[in-house]
Amino acid sequence: MIIGCPKEIKDHEFRVGLTPSNVHTFSEAGCKVYIEKGAGEAINFYDEDYKNAGAIIADKEELFEKSEMIIKVKEPVKEEYDLFKEKQVLYTYLHLANDKELTEMLLKKKIFSIAYETIRKGKLLPCLAPMSSIAGRLSIIEGAKYLEKTYGGNGTFIGGAPGTRKGKVLILGGGNVGFNAAQMALGLGAEVIIADIDLARLEYIDQVFHSKITTLYSDSGNIKEWIRDCDILIGSVLIPGSKAPKLIRKEHLKLMKKGAVIVDVAIDQGGCIETSHPTTHTDPIYIIDGIVHYSVANMPGAVAKTSTIALTNTTVPYGLKIATLGAKEACLQIPELTEGLNTIDGKITYKGIAQAFGADYFDPIATLQAYQ
């Protein structure tokens, strides 16, 4: 299969879909790989490194024209829509349940799209996990920064100081993001609370952290009580492939301390805070009712080199199967990739996306078997 890896053009997105080492792996498997000129330069992966690994350096138009499969990091943006060819394979993060326009483009062009975030192995999301870990840890670092009075925060130092109270961090959701956020917050000396509806998960967290973190059952009444005293609120609730539930409403902001910070890590899936909207690394925050909101949609892009390596460690093995077996056969043979299939031949094959738009859902196996 001919692979194309374009340069990301989303604001401050310096990650890249393939490293030079990954190109070498694909080349050894008999694939031809096109890399857009300068795709990895921002994180010290230079064109010469890619060429030495076997890649062909091309401009964006040539890359899209010649490639059978496009490997990216983030979902395509509008400027890239016209570059896609009918029935091309797209392998990247997509978050389609929050992006009707992109979904419509993929359907119109009959794109064979496989989304990193919906590839599932049992209960695990292997291609989402590394970015969730990084985003969870970053959420505390960013939350602590924007607590500074300079940015409109209430001036609390998250770790406190002798003779003062520590900052209080409330984390909604005890999954991978929430767990890593708790780990970072505890390490910085904060008082940490995790809320979740999965009691078994709360028990696990309590044991792992040796009861140093408060675990609470999450319901609307309890949330109203807990948000009154938190300095940083982390929204980390995920329903794979579907829109995130809105746990914090606009009226809840009036209950919070002025200058508290909300970090909505679920913003890629629409956010779990009603007042959240996607922001960028260039302009990351805004303030509503005295509450600082941080909702950058590509948080791990801030640490692009680490994120790229962590991501490709998980995405490349699946990508190699797609490239060597063909997208149809790989999805039929590998259950994880069947789960990852979002659109094929103009049809939506992931329930959460169909439900988000009130569209028809098509069984992925039956759709694959009929695909020519």
Give the chain's length.
Answer: 372
Q: What is the per-residue DSSP string for 219-265?
A: -HHHHHHHTTS-SEEEE----TTSPPP--B-GGGGGGSPTT-EEEEG
Contact partners, residue 217, CB within 8 Å, separation at least 6: 195, 196, 197, 199, 202
Compute the distance between CA of residue 20 and CA of residue 40 in angstroms, rounded to an integer.
9
Edge to edge, the sheet with strand 232-235 lists 214-217, 191-196, 168-172, 232-235, 261-264, 291-294, 285-288
95 has catalytic annotation: yes
Calpha distance 267→288 (Å, rounded): 17
Give the integer Cα–Cα distance in Å for 290 and 97: 30
CA 126 to chain centre: 12
Selecting among 24, 49, 95, 252, the annotated active-site residue is: 95
Catalytic, out of 99, 196, 264, 268: 268
- Reply yes or no on whether 268 is catalytic: yes
Contacts (Cβ under 8 Å, ≥6 apart) of 144: 157, 158, 167, 188, 232
Q: Is 320 helix (H, G, I), strand (E, B) or coil?
A: helix
Cα 270 off chain centre by: 12
User: Quick one: which of 283, 308, 258, 307 has its CA closest to 138?
Assistant: 307
Q: What 3-state DSSP class applies to 207?
A: helix
Q: Are 69 and 2 in contact (CB under 8 A)?
A: yes
**Residues known to be catalytic:** 95, 268
